[in-house]
Amino acid sequence: MKTKLFLLGLLASAMTVAGQTTNTTDSKKETWYFKLGGSYFIQTAATDFPIISGTLPNNDVFAADGITLISRETNHGSFGEGFRTGLTTGYRFSTRFGVEVGFNYFNGNSKTMAQATHKYVPNPNNVPIFVNGSAEGKIEAFDIAPALVMFLGETHGFEPYTKVGVIVPVHGTLEIESNREFTTPAGVTNTYTKDVVKPKPTVGFMAAIGTSYKVAKNISIFAELEYRNFTVHGDTKETKEYTENGVDKLYTPTTFRADASYSASHVKYVDELTTDSNHYLFNPNTATPYIEKDTTRPNDAMNDISSYVGISGLGLTFGLKYSL
C-alpha cells in the first residue's frame, strides 16, 4: 500500500510540474518511436510462498530426535525481484497522448521457499532417516505490456511522461531446485530435484513515471520508475531432473523416491481435491509405502491444490529511444 501511494504521489507531482513547464511540443505530429532498455526490480507486496510437494514454506530446525521442533520461520516474499530487458514500440498520436507495447524478458532472483534441518523422515520400517535440505524457486518469463502514455510537456530537452497498462505473460516458468541430504545408518545420500511449474493465463497491472532527454535529432535517453503487480496460479508441474549422489534416478525406483511412475513426476493442479482426484490422500496405493506416496493411478498425473505466487516489484529502467 505504501508503494502504491508513493507511486501515485509521483504521478501527481509530475502532472503538476507539467502544468508549469514551457511546452515546446505543440507542433509535433504523429510519430513512431522505439525504446530499448534494461531494468532492475526490487520486490514489493511479499506473500507466503506456496506448499511444495506437501512441504510447508517454512525454515524448520529439529532436535536430535528429528521430531521435536526447535524453531520455525515462515518463508515469504515476491518473485518480482530481478533483471528485465525489453524492446518497446510506441506511437504518439498527439502532442500529449500515445500508446506503447513492450516486449520484455524477465529473469528473477532465486528465493528460498522451504528449508529443513535434521528432520526425521517417516518410513514403514522405522529406519532412522534424517534429512537436511532446501528448495529454491526462480521465475523466468516473457511478457507483452500494452500501455497508454501521457506526455507532460518538453522543456530544456527533458520530457516527462506517465503511463499505465497491463502485463500479459506469454511464456514463463517457476523452477524449483531442491537439494537434500539423507542420513541413514548405511551412510549419506545427496539428492537433487528440479521441478518446473507452468502457469495458468493471467493479467497484471503496471504504472510508470519517466522522462526522456534528447541527445540528437532522433535519439534520446530515458529513465523510468515502474511499479508492477500480478499473481500467477500453477497449472502443471513436472520433475525434469532427479539424481542421487549425481546419478540420474528420475525413472528408476529408489529408496528416496516412490517409483518411476508418471504420477511420481507429473502434477495437474486443481481447485479442489475430491474422491475422484488422483491423490494419495484419497486413493493411496498401500503396496508401495515409500517416502513419497503413490496412488492407485500411477499412469495419470497426480492432482494437487492449485497455489499461486506473487510477482510484484518496483523497478528502475534506463535505455535509448529512437524516434522516426
Average pLDDT over residues 10-35: 56
Rg (CA), the chain: 25
Task: Examine the pLDDT at 60 and tell me if it is beyond 90.
Answer: yes
Residue 210 C-alpha from the chain's centroid:
25
Q: What is the pLDDT of residues 88-127, one digit of tens each?
A: 999 999 999 999 999 999 999 999 999 999 999 887 778 8
Q: What is the pLDDT of residues 144-180, one digit of tens each?
A: 999 999 999 988 889 999 999 999 999 999 999 999 9
| 3-class secondary structure, 9 | helix
> What's the pLDDT band for 226 if we cut at 50, 70, 90?
very high
Question: Which residues, 6 or more positions from 8, have their beta carbon under 8 angstroms from its beta carbon?
Answer: none
Which residue do the cell numbers 511478457 mark?
143
Average pLDDT over residues 225-231: 93
Dihedral sign, CA of 286, 290, 292, 298? negative
Average pLDDT over residues 2-11: 44
Average pLDDT over residues 43-61: 83
Q: What is the pLDDT of residues 185-197, one digit of tens each?
A: 989 999 999 999 9
> What's the pLDDT band for 52 if we cut at 50, 70, 90?
confident
Instruction: Provide DSSP, 240-302.
Output: EEEEETTEE-TTS-BTTB--S-STTTEEEEES---TTS--TTTSB-TT---SS--BS-TTSPE
Q: What is the pLDDT of residues 262-319, one digit of tens each?
A: 888 889 999 888 888 888 788 776 555 444 566 778 888 888 888 888 889 999 999 9
Query: Which domains does the chain show, CATH number per domain?
Result: 2-323 (2.40.160.20)
Q: What is the pLDDT of residue 27?
A: 47
Q: What is the pLDDT of residue 19?
A: 43
